[in-house]
Structure 1
Amino acid sequence: MKAMQIECFLCRQDNVGVLMHDPQTHLTASIDAPEESAVVAAAERRGWKVSHIFSTHHHADHVEANLALKERYGLSVIGPAKEAAKIPGIDRMVAGDSSFKFGSNTVEVVETPGHTAGHVCYYLPNAQVLFSGDTLFALGCGRLIEKSATDMWASLQKLAALPDETVVYFGHEYTLINARFALTIDPKNKPLRARYEKLCELQANGILTAPTTLGVEKETNPFLRVDDPAIRALLGMREASSVDVFAEIRKRRNNF
């Protein structure tokens, strides 16, 4: 079995565009559709024809190019059933704990409410790849717009339960500012400091920080480390619930 091929690129101002290509069947999925020109350019660069869009949630900067790409390629749009009315051109609705075939791989749908009420992520266990949309970022997580901290914390726990080797493609290039914030929450974390230095090098050279891995995130992302004693001590929340610590970190990130 040939491995999935993935192309990652910048869209709009800070959206991360991703194309996933199955070399056996020649199917190509765009993970969300932030910008027509950027998606088309990436597809042409690789010689691929986009056959699907996997929509993670309904926000305009993730679905803006759905209809234009559908008209161009005659593709199929897959998206969350709970947000179907807000996903332009949707053809197939999917829900949490379901799966579907994409070429030679099975795609598992993980429902992750928090940023939006019906947000989903797409996980390919055989390829060990996760498309996390605006739920999990490198060193961050999505803002709580439509659901509560309790909901988002439960969603992040679902993702954190996946294998550490899982390669994560996220929806926005917020990594460097996320790293600066993380250092205010977890200043004595040596892997985090080393990662920050590497991120500064990547930015200086204009290199995207995507993808990451769940193992790296568990080691350095404060939103996945709310039970760390040093973080709790710094926040003055030694005995607080995990959800309350998470909510406090999210509040501080909003104001950073």
Structure 2
Amino acid sequence: MPDQNYLDDLRLAHMMADNADSLTMSRFKALDLQVTAKPDLTPVSDADVAVEDAIRRTLKTARPRDAVHGEEREDTGWGPRRWVIDPIDGTKNYVRGVPVWATLIALMVEGEVVVGVVSAPALGRRWWASAGGGAFTGKTLLQGTPCRVSGVSDVADASLSYSSVHGWVDSGRGQQFVDLMRACWRTRAYGDFWSYMLLAEGAVDIASEPELALHDMAALDVIVREAGGRFTNLDGADGVAGPGAVATNGVLHDAVVEQLAE
């Protein structure tokens, strides 16, 4: 059961995820979906903007004193409580009709992520966690199955998931990542949020990316940690400050960080 301190926030996050799912699914594979390029040349669809705007409207009413950080709009508010939103994580998949994308909603208090919801309606999956309350997957807050990371203790027996090799080459740690891939039992590019949710479920043992923004990481962080894993930057510092992210079942973490070291 979720920590009572954050139960109301977790319920609110689920409600906002329900609304987001309705919006994203109504526009998924729509023939009139509008897609434009942001200044960094990454795509943004009308669904991305609609979802973030809807979540912001809800928060303005339900949590008017809280700050909000999102991918598509300017930051608003200030204070110890900050909501972090990625309206569609995996927009490139979304606009091409690939069902691997999700809405990520997180709450940070005093810089620590305390609530996270990841909702992937095209996969029929949702994951969530709150600080001290455990991590779960299921359809609703009251119908969740606990998530637990694997017990794999050797990199040679580990399954690694990532998003793309290109980013690693550009990061200057390309060779380190290739060596890690070769050392692992199995590698697959499940990509984006899904790598980390599979890790929380124990289906994957290592997930890592060289460059991620706060909105990409916040919701994933608390779910991985509450499932018993570790979530750090590439240099092994806990939290979502970057650079990049390394998530493991915990047992493998030091060995993976050492392998990826500059």
Calculate the TM-score normalised by the size of structure 2: 0.29
Calculate the TM-score normalised by the size of structure 1: 0.29
